[in-house]
Structure 1
Amino acid sequence: MTNALSPGVVERVRDGPWYRVRTDRFEASFVLGADEVLEDVCNIDVEVRMSADGSRWTATVFTLDEVQRLMEKGSRTGEDLGGRYFWCYDGLIVRDPGIDNIIEVLIGLLDEGDFWQILQRIDDEGNLGEA
C-alpha cells in the first residue's frame, strides 16, 4: 500500500472488509478481499458519498484487461454469446488498475462534469434512484 496520499486525497482507512478513501469532495468505499493488493484492483464495486449533500452513487469499475479476461472466459464457457459481448448496468471501464487510479478517475469525472451521468445514484435504502 502506498503511504503518500494522492493529490486531493485527505485520508485512507481500512475498516474490516471496507477500504475508504476520503477526499475534500467525497468518500469512496470499496469492499476488498483479505489478500487483495490495492495497486492490482481491476474489478470492484465502489460507493461514493458526496460531501456537499450526502448523496450516494455507485459503479462497478473494471480495467480493460479485466473486461478482456471476462470475455475470454465467456468464449470458453459459452456465457455472453460465447464471449461476444460484455455488459454491466453500472459499469465504468478504466485503463489502469488500482484504487489510486480509480480515485483519480472519479476526481476527473467530477472536474469534467461527467460523474453524474456515469455513476448511478442510490437512495438511503440502497436502491437505485433518480440522478
Structure 2
Amino acid sequence: MEDDIYHVVREPEFTALFLLGADDLVETVEDVDAELRLPDGTRWSASFMTLGAVETVMNRWRETGEYGGGVFFRCSDLVIVPKGGVPAMIEAFRAIVADGPQETLGNLG
C-alpha cells in the first residue's frame, strides 16, 4: 500500500506522496522526493529542497569530488521551497497545480 511507504496528503485537486527517510520529520524535512497525482490520472515527480539543503549537498560534493567538486547543482524536477516541512511543500504543489504542473515537474505518465 502506498500509505505504508509514503506520507500521503490528499486534497480535492491532487494527491501528494512524499518519500520520507527514516530520520525525516513531516514538519521539518528539507530534502524529499515527492509525487503529485492529479484526478485525471497524470503523475508528476518533484524533488523538494530548501536552499540550506542544496548548500549542504554542494558542500558534501566539494569534499567527495562529485559533480565537479560541488561546482554545480542540477536536478531536473527540483522545486526549491523557502522553508522545510511537508506543509510548505503542499503549498508549493497547490501553486504548481494552479499554474500547470507541466511547466515545473517531471511527467511520470
TM-score where L is the length of structure 1? 0.76
Q: Is the 8 A contact 1:75 1:84 kept in 2?
A: yes
Cα distance in structure 2, aligned partners of 1:116 and 1:84: 28
Q: Is the 8 A contact 1:17 1:34 kept in 2?
A: no
Please list every run of 5 or more consecutive structure 2 residues that lacks an aligned counterpart in the other structure. none
Q: Runs in 1 of length 4+ with deviation above 3 angstroms? A: none
Q: Which residue of 2 aligns with 1:25?
A: 13
Q: Residues 28-87 of structure 1: CA distance to partner in whole angstroms, max 9, x if unpaired?
A: 011223442111111111111102x11111111111100000111111111111111111
Answer with 1 or 2: which has the greater Rg.
1
TM-score where L is the length of structure 2? 0.90
Letter aligned with residue 20 of structure 1? V
Q: Is the 8 A contact 2:76 2:106 kept in 1?
A: no
How much does 1:103 deviate? 0.3
Larger relative CO (CA 8 A, sep 6+): 1 or 2?
2
Please list every run of 5 or more consecutive structure 1 residues that lacks an aligned counterpart in the other structure. 1-13, 124-131
Aligned residue-pair number? 108
Higher helix share: 2
RMSD of aligned alpha carbons: 1.5
Q: Residues 6-33 of structure 1: CA distance to partner in whole angstroms, max 9, x if unpaired?
A: xxxxxxxx92231100111000011223
Cα distance in structure 1, aligned partners of 2:108 and 2:97: 17
Cα distance in structure 1, aligned partners of 2:3 and 2:35: 15
**Pair 1:16 & 2:4 matched:** yes
